[in-house]
A and B are shown apart, each in its own frame.
Chain A
Amino acid sequence: MEHFLGLSGVLFALGFYGVLARRSAILILISVELMLAAVSINFITFATYLDPERFTGVIFAIFAITIAAAEVGLALGIVLRLFRDRGTSNVDAADELKW
């Protein structure tokens, strides 16, 4: 069981590094997907090992994947809009709200 959790931890850390290091919006999105997948692994591990009668974690993983798909569609719409306005998908180009 701790093997699965360790794998998900490694995956989450890699995605976290990607979110911080990447500057292209779509690459950041890819890293966010990695983090979401790590969370799904965690949910399912706990559900099948510790709570096999009610398996609530599996339901949560289904919802997580659903929301991830919706998020990717919406985020790509925003990125396309940003690209059309600024000519780049670099997130550093959109810093008007930065204090």
Chain B
Amino acid sequence: MLSRLPLPPQLDRTITLGAVLAVGVALPYVGVVLVLAAMGTLSVAAVVFWMLAAIIVAGACGAVFSNHVVHAALSLVIAAMGIAGIFLLLASEFLALVQVLVYGGGVTILLLFGLMLTNATEDPLVTDGTQKPFAFGVGLAMGAVIVAAMVGSTWRAGEPMVVPFAELGVRLYRDFGLPFEIASLVLIVALVGAIAIGRRDQDGDVS
């Protein structure tokens, strides 16, 4: 039954690549993490962190390296969900909720709309420019420097503290009231501006 479905060759290749990656990279990774956990080297939180980190990095790689624009946008959703999980690990439930709502919902829908309205007929091969090798080198160097600096530094040890909802609200409205109001102003100006810019012109006048 499945073999009768006419798959386009590109999609076929994508599925094959996904299967190879899943078997070749994901399974050994999960195995190593679980074995380390069983040996008592990793705590439960550490296991969850490494799983989430793998999901996030995989999603980010998909968003950045994929030649198919819709795949890139959907990979961003995967990365955003993983980041929401990281926020939960960091004891910030409110941020996790906001992350899921804003990124998983709003931003992704907007991006998909944008892709639908612009890129529908574009050749996927023009998504990347000629400066790709240079960009790869710079990105790799920057990542190496940042990670080396952060992992190499000694931080004050401790456990993440829970930030209670109620205190967060009090602090947001009492101490950061003015920035909050300015943020709402920025939002409405940005959205009205987006409508004004993106509006289709009536009878050809320049808006």
Contact = CB atoms under 8 A, between A and B. Distances in A.
Interface in A6-25: 6-18, 20-25
Contact of A21 (B132, B168, B200): B132
B197 interface: yes
B54 to A, nearest CB: 10
Given A37-B83, A76-B113, A70 B103 contact: no
Interface string B115-147: 101110010001111011011101110111011
Interface string A62-94: 110111111111101111110110001110100
A24 B151 contact: no
Interface residues of A, number: 70
Given A26-B114, A50-B156, A34 B198 contact: no
B131 to A, nearest CB: 6
A98 interface: no
- Interface extent on B, as a size class? 35 or more
B66 to A, nearest CB: 9
A76 B194 CA distance: 8
A85 B79 CA distance: 33
Please report whether the interface of chain B is mostly helix, strand, loop or mixed according to DSSP: helix
A77 B4 CA distance: 42
B98 interface: yes
B107 A33 contact: yes
Please report whether the interface of chain A is mostly helix, strand, loop or mixed according to DSSP: helix
B190 A71 contact: yes
Interface string B170-207: 01100010010001001100110111111010000000
B26 to A, nearest CB: 17
Interface of A: 1-18, 20-27, 29-31, 33-34, 37, 40-41, 44-45, 47-50, 52, 54-55, 58-59, 61-63, 65-74, 76-81, 83-84, 88-90, 92
Interface of B: 46, 49, 53, 56-57, 60-61, 63-64, 69, 72-73, 76, 79-80, 83, 86-87, 90-92, 94-95, 98-99, 102-103, 106-107, 110-111, 113-115, 117-119, 122, 126-129, 131-132, 134-136, 138-140, 142-144, 146-147, 149-151, 153, 155-161, 163, 167-168, 171-172, 176, 179, 183, 186-187, 190-191, 193-198, 200
22 contacts: A2-B150, A7-B53, A7-B57, A13-B140, A14-B60, A20-B139, A21-B139, A22-B64, A26-B69, A27-B69, A33-B80, A34-B63, A37-B83, A37-B103, A48-B91, A48-B163, A59-B172, A63-B183, A69-B107, A70-B186, A76-B110, A80-B198
